[in-house]
Amino acid sequence: MKEIKNYPLLPHNTFGMDVKASVFVEYTSVAELKTVLSNKDYFRGSWLHIGGGSNLLFTGDYDGVIFHSAIRGYEVVRENDEEVEVRVGAGEVWDDFVAYSVKSGWYGAENLSLIPGEVGASAVQNIGAYGAEAKDLIVTVETVEMATGKERVFANAECRYAYRESIFKQELKGKYIVTYVTYRLSKLPVFNLEYGNVRGELEKKGCEVTLDNVRNTIIAVREIKLPDPKLQGNAGSFFMNPIVPRAQFEALQATYPDIPHYDLGGDRVKIPAAWMIDRCGWKGKQVGRAGVHNKQALVLVNCGGATGDEVIALSKQIQESVYRTFGVNISPEVNFI
């Protein structure tokens, strides 16, 4: 276990905010986590558990305790000729797990290549890209309850997964800490290439459809569209894609016949926030030291030395302008701290 006072958070937030935490605590096992939880001193004031810091926006120094998991390791816990189940430590880097799966010849995680963050957050946030979501792979989520230090295993259905949602972000927010996630992958080829023209990109390059090629294609597409946080601070998609009632979507479609959308069935239609932000003319714009990425309007960037408040001010202007034009509310996916 590691406890550091006055700890610089710059390496722990991809937005590149140069702020400090009063105390930073990192644990490497479930036993250490339980010891941490039994220390009342840590819980007298504010506390926050972080993962890779790729979905956080700090607005100033953090006056409290920040916890981070360094629980590591991969373990195959079940396998047959068709499937394999791998139990992974919450502190592993998500993309290392994807790389490991692809190298092992296991199918299912490749579309989620290069998503920043750690394994624990994949289960809380239900990360997703290119038609795949973590929830499609998750079998169980092992946790420790903050209040009691008791272990509890959540089956997939108990996690109440939805688009970028889970029980850990709703009624159990701040109540359980994820320690291990078990994912089920396929040993038989199953690809998911229709979303975002992944197949088209493979064909353009004259590539055979293999695990490696799909992973490399997704990485290439992401690298073109999304800024590298090492070069320009950002937290990936800043807003979630809003889901609106069908009637509202149809009214919008009458005015904007080219509006992209994903029909979720029933009364729900998802509209890409990026398209609306782009249509409002925000792409590539800069306000103070915060800006809108010039290749993907959903991504807000730190143009150098921006404060969290500057980014929030820009995000508010964007929300207002999207609402004025389309009558649709867009909510941040990023957490303001």
Rounded CA-CA distance 119/69 in Å is 10
Piece of the chain touching ligand EPU by CB under 6 A; list 1-9, 77-85, 144-152, 293-301 = 293-301
> Which pair of structure tokens corresponds to residue 149?
């230090």
Q: How many residues bind ligand EPU (CB under 6 A)?
A: 18
Active site residue 237: yes
196 part of the interface to ligand EPU, by CB under 6 A: yes
Ranges of beta strands (E only) in the chain are 2-8, 20-27, 46-50, 56-57, 62-69, 74-79, 83-89, 128-129, 132-133, 138-145, 151-155, 176-186, 234-237, 243-245, 262-263, 268-270, 286-287, 290-292, 299-302, 335-336
333 part of the interface to ligand EPU, by CB under 6 A: yes
Q: What is the β-pairing status of strands 56-57 and 335-336?
A: parallel
Q: Does the CA dihedral 56-61-63-66 come out positive or negative?
A: positive
165 part of the interface to ligand EPU, by CB under 6 A: no
CB of 179 to ligand EPU, least distance (A): 24
* Angle between helices 211-225 and 94-104 in degrees, nearest 10: 150
Active site residue 321: no
243 part of the interface to ligand EPU, by CB under 6 A: no
Which of 122/140 has CB closer to ligand EPU?
A: 122
Which of 138/146 has CB closer to ligand EPU?
A: 138
296 part of the interface to ligand EPU, by CB under 6 A: yes
Piece of the chain touching ligand EPU by CB under 6 A; list 71-79, 85-93, 150-158, 270-278 = 270-278
- Given a contact cutoff of 8 angstroms between Cβ atoms, the answer to whether 52 and 116 are in contact is yes
Which of 1/259 has CB closer to ligand EPU?
A: 259
Rounded CA-CA distance 118/127 in Å is 10
129 part of the interface to ligand EPU, by CB under 6 A: yes
Distance, CA of 18 to chain centre? 21
For residue 125, give every residue at least 6 positions away whose Cβ sits within 8 Å of its Cβ, in sequence order, or none.
55, 117, 134, 164, 166, 169
236 part of the interface to ligand EPU, by CB under 6 A: yes
Piece of the chain touching ligand EPU by CB under 6 A; list 20-28, 233-241, 245-253, 310-318 = 233-241
274 part of the interface to ligand EPU, by CB under 6 A: yes
300 part of the interface to ligand EPU, by CB under 6 A: no
Could you tell me which of 75, 78, 110 has the C-alpha nearest to residue 94? 110
Which of 39/197 has CB closer to ligand EPU?
A: 197
- Given a contact cutoff of 8 angstroms between Cβ atoms, the answer to whether 87 and 197 are in contact is no
Q: Of these, 61, 85, 278, 309, which contacts ligand EPU (CB under 6 A)?
A: 278
240 part of the interface to ligand EPU, by CB under 6 A: yes
Which of 202/297 has CB closer to ligand EPU?
A: 297
User: Rule CB under 6 A: which residues touch ligand EPU?
Assistant: 129-130, 196, 226, 236-237, 240-241, 260, 272, 274-275, 278, 283, 296-298, 333
* Catalytically active residues, by annotation: 164, 237, 333
